[in-house]
Amino acid sequence: MRESFRIALAGNPNCGKTSIFNALTGARQHVGNYPGVTVESKSGSFVLNGMKIELIDLPGVYSLSSSSPEEEVVFQELTKPGIDLILNVIDSTIPQRSLYLTTQLAELHIPMLLAFNMSDDARKKGLKFNISKLEKYFGSPIVQTIGCRENGVRPLLHQLAKSLHELEDHGVPMLSYGNDVDDAIRAVTEKIDALDQNKYSRHYSRFFAIKLLEHDAAAMRIPELQPVAPEVETQIRHLWDVHAIEADTFMADRRYAMLAGACRDAISMSHERRREISDKIDLVMTNRFFSLPLFFLIIYVTFWFTFTLADPLMGYIEDFFAWLNGMVKSVWSPETLPLLRTMLTDGVISGVGGVLVFLPNILFLFFAIAILEDSGYMARAAFVMDGIMRKFGLQGRSFVPLVLGFGCNVPAIMATRTIESERDRTVTILVLPLMSCGARLPIYALIIPAFFAPKYQAFVMWLIYIIGVLVALAAARLLKSTLFKGDGEVYLMELPPYRMPTFKSLVLHMWDRGKMYLQKAGTIILAASILLFLCNTFPRKTSFSQDYDSEIEKIRQEKALDDAGIELLRQSGALDPEIMAKTEEDRFIPSEALEECREEDFPEPVRALLLSSRAAGEEMEQLEKKKQAEMLEYTISGRVGRALEPLFRFIGFDWKLATASIGALAAKEVFVSQLGILYAEGDADETSVPLREHLMKNYTPLQGFCIMLFALLSIPCLATLAVIRRELNSWKMAALEAVALFLFAFLSTAIVYQLGTLFRIGTRFLA
């Protein structure tokens, strides 16, 4: 008996296929892209009754017509050898439309199992199925499932095990399209069989005959089938002469007619059908007056949820990396391989750690987005926004890629292939980088808590996202009014019923995106952090404008505590025992202890010692900062930053922010990593100072807002530019996009900063 099988999971979009895939495979999944296209490839594995099963989750399609990249991928995957069984998932609430794909899959003569999913929703609609009739019609066993419930796939597992044991005895579908059409199919099938070609199984001959009669692009490109082209054209002319029907539409008409008869015989509807809960909810959620405010409220709650749950975890991660940095520095002597030591602590740990701190934000944001998608609300959001999108020259179909842009611009741009209008697709691609992707989230998560009080944080986050949406829509309107003029197209979509998402599905969705973020942190950001560290370190400056070390040592000797001062501090109890011991050893009060002491709490002699030590510490800190500033200015990063500083000063950026903005071209998260490295290099001692504290000391809330605005509107990451070039097949368009976004971002940020400075807006912390 065989021990391993390959199963293809096929179905329409939104049929619950992903829920079944997650329920069967769990976390044993692999995600990538099919070679040569931007369609997602997903496979998983599981063991059933001792059988090892590889489950291939094919892209959701409505047919095998190969008119889109997704359909062509499914076409190619199913016609390659090696598929033992097709698991066809069907939305049983709309069986007639869902079964259209089933008729094409049945023509492949590959053993098939039909999963009538969402069977609970079908019962609520009053639908009743004669399963035995349908099984006989399609020549395949049928099992009813509820993919969104843990126990809803148990019947599927039982039937799947049975089907795999009976692969050689699978049924034959009773598919007939009328005598004339069946005769034409038979004639072309015989010609294909006569070719005796080895590339495709003879079981596919009838399938390919139908594809050729439909003038399917993918089938017509197969060299092995070219010899039958004359017979195909002969049969098409015959069908036209008899029925006056076009080659590319007659099979669709016949399939729908055949399905109508099958469904009429095997599917009935109860007269007691009641109004669904989804319809009642939609009376509010899609209401012309309430839908838009509710949409913005839901987005606001999403961001509030993200910040509230992520903030404590971020603190723990931040503390961990601070501890790790200090631990490495304590066990690794500064005299042993000092460059490697510094690169590990200030480059890798400060750089990558500064980005991983924001992993909770990423996870919770995608968890919230998964709830919106799996519950069915995301489709309502597209419906709600369609009217607004049309006012800006786009169609509702463009809304889905724009929403995906909140996660990552790269897959969002790929998703524009579902837009049939080339003008709308191009415009959508060009404005997508203005949608605030997940890579920008670490920048917001760094800036907002540093400059805005907790009660304002969710609002500021919401505001920055809304700015991106409004600017993207305005840009779309401008482009459609000038460079891409044309009439809009009608957008039709079906609203799926509301469903309760499963926790397992939500966690898997969240983990998939979180894993991508971790992979980026472990590859692109790691490499960029090391490169930026080297740029921040070399060339090394050996001569300075003054002898800083001597000046610092002079102050240390002059201000060192004598025995009387040490004794006075010990008796006063101003310092805890550990700090006191360090003070006795160094003859100097540590700066962190001085920050916690309030001189007014102590008598005059002790107060004088503390004030003197604080003044000496500040003086030495200033000298150390001047030395570090000279060292940084001498490096590659410093020279580039200093060269750009006069320009970037108009938007409130110093040379460090300018340098970090350039580093963010590799990946937006690198902005945080670069700042972490720059300020780690600039620390006067070995103590790790949180990056937010550096920002609060050196910048204002106005500058913080300008940082986020520039990150939002400016050039996207190189990966986004690369996919723009690939999707539009034009380096020129990608380059123009980069230049236009930089100029727009710079001008917009400059206006905000200059007006804010003029009217003193955001020049102090918003308490």
**Are residues 684 and 706 part of one domain?**
yes
The pair phi, psi for residue 55, each rounded to 5°, is -105, 120
| Contact predicate 477/393, CB 8 Å | yes
For residue 721, the model assigns a pLDDT of: 82
Helix (H) or strand (E) holding 409: helix 409-415
238 vs 115, residue with greater confidence: 115
**Are residues 452 and 393 part of one domain?**
yes
Q: Give the total number of structural domains in the chain.
A: 5
116 pLDDT above the threshold of 90: yes
Look at residues 5, 28, 44, 42 and name the one whose alpha carbon lies nearest to residue 160.
Answer: 5
Domain boundary among 427, 448, 481: 481
Residue with tokens 């969240």: 510
599 pLDDT above the threshold of 70: no
Which of 51-55, 196-200, 206-210, 234-238 has the least mean pLDDT? 196-200
For residue 720, the model assigns a pLDDT of: 81
| Contact predicate 733/431, CB 8 Å | no
Tens-digit pLDDT profile for residues 390-443:
888 887 768 767 877 887 787 678 667 656 567 888 999 999 999 998 889 889
Encode 320-337: b = buried (16+ Cβ within 10 Å), e = exposed: ebbeebeeebeebeeeee
Which residue blocks in 714-730 are alpha helix, DSSP H?
A: 718-728
For residue 334, the model assigns a pLDDT of: 86
Helix (H, G, I), strand (E, B), or coil: what is residue 538?
A: coil
55 pLDDT above the threshold of 60: yes
Does some domain include residue 407?
Answer: yes
- Cβ burial of 533 (10 Å; 0-12, 13-18, 19+) is buried
**Are residues 450 and 407 part of one domain?**
yes
**Are residues 209 and 134 part of one domain?**
no
Per-residue DSSP letter, 766: B
**38-44 average pLDDT score:** 74
**705-720 average pLDDT score:** 89
| Contact predicate 636/655, CB 8 Å | no
Helix (H, G, I), strand (E, B), or coil: what is residue 755?
A: helix
**Are residues 456 and 389 part of one domain?**
yes
| Average pLDDT of every residue of the chain | 82
Does some domain include residue 274?
Answer: no
For residue 34, the model assigns a pLDDT of: 56
For residue 598, the model assigns a pLDDT of: 65
- Cβ burial of 610 (10 Å; 0-12, 13-18, 19+) is buried
**529-539 average pLDDT score:** 81
Instruction: Report the DSSP beta bridge partners of residue 143.
Output: 115
Instruction: Report the DSSP beta bridge partners of residue 377.
Output: none
Q: How much of the chain exceeds pLDDT 70, in percent?
A: 86
For residue 420, the model assigns a pLDDT of: 59
Q: Where are the beta strands (DSSP E) in 573-730?
A: none
Helix (H, G, I), strand (E, B), or coil: what is residue 742?
A: helix
Q: Which residues contact 699 (CB under 8 A, 6 or more apart)?
A: 451, 652, 707
**Are residues 22 and 111 part of one domain?**
yes
249 pLDDT above the threshold of 90: no
Domain boundary among 591, 612, 627: 627
Does some domain include residue 697?
Answer: yes
Tens-digit pLDDT profile for residues 369-394:
788 878 888 778 777 777 778 888 88
Q: Which two tokens stand for residue 509?
A: 């969705």
For residue 292, the model assigns a pLDDT of: 82
Does some domain include residue 487?
Answer: no
CATH number of the domain enclosing 131: 3.40.50.300
Q: Which of 60-69, 528-537, 558-567 has the highest mean pLDDT?
A: 558-567
**Are residues 637 and 577 part of one domain?**
no
Residue with tokens 């005299």: 335
Does some domain include residue 151?
Answer: yes
Does this model's pTM top 0.85? My answer is: no
CA distance 143 to 132: 11
For residue 203, the model assigns a pLDDT of: 63
| Contact predicate 161/48, CB 8 Å | yes
CA distance 435 to 465: 7
**18-34 average pLDDT score:** 76
397 vs 238, residue with greater confidence: 238
**Are residues 296 and 220 part of one domain?**
no
CA distance 577 to 598: 17
For residue 141, the model assigns a pLDDT of: 93
Does some domain include residue 184?
Answer: yes
Amino acid at 445: A
Q: Which two tokens stand for residue 354?
A: 């500064």
237 pLDDT above the threshold of 50: yes
244 vs 72, residue with greater confidence: 72
**Residue 18 CB neighbour total at 10 angstroms:** 22
**621-638 average pLDDT score:** 78
Cis peptide before 230 (omega within 30 of 0): no
Which of 248-257, 280-289, 435-444, 559-568 has the least mean pLDDT? 248-257
Tens-digit pLDDT profile for residues 471-497:
999 999 999 888 887 655 444 455 677
451 pLDDT above the threshold of 60: yes
**34-39 average pLDDT score:** 54
Residue with tokens 């970037």: 648
Domain boundary among 107, 141, 169: 169
**Are residues 679 and 710 part of one domain?**
yes
**Residue 176 CB neighbour total at 10 angstroms:** 11
For residue 722, the model assigns a pLDDT of: 75
The pair phi, psi for residue 717, each rounded to 5°, is -70, 165
CATH number of the domain enclosing 238: 1.10.287.1770
Number of separate helices (H) and strands (E) present in the chain:
36, 9
Q: Which residues contact 276 (CB under 8 A, 6 or more apart)?
A: 121, 124, 125, 497
93 pLDDT above the threshold of 80: yes
**Are residues 651 and 640 part of one domain?**
yes
Does some domain include residue 499?
Answer: no
The pair phi, psi for residue 225, each rounded to 5°, is -100, -5
Q: How much of the chain exceeds pLDDT 90, in percent?
A: 21
**Are residues 227 and 155 part of one domain?**
no
Does some domain include residue 278?
Answer: no
Q: Can you give the residue range of the structural domain that contains 199? A: 179-269
**Are residues 113 and 24 part of one domain?**
yes
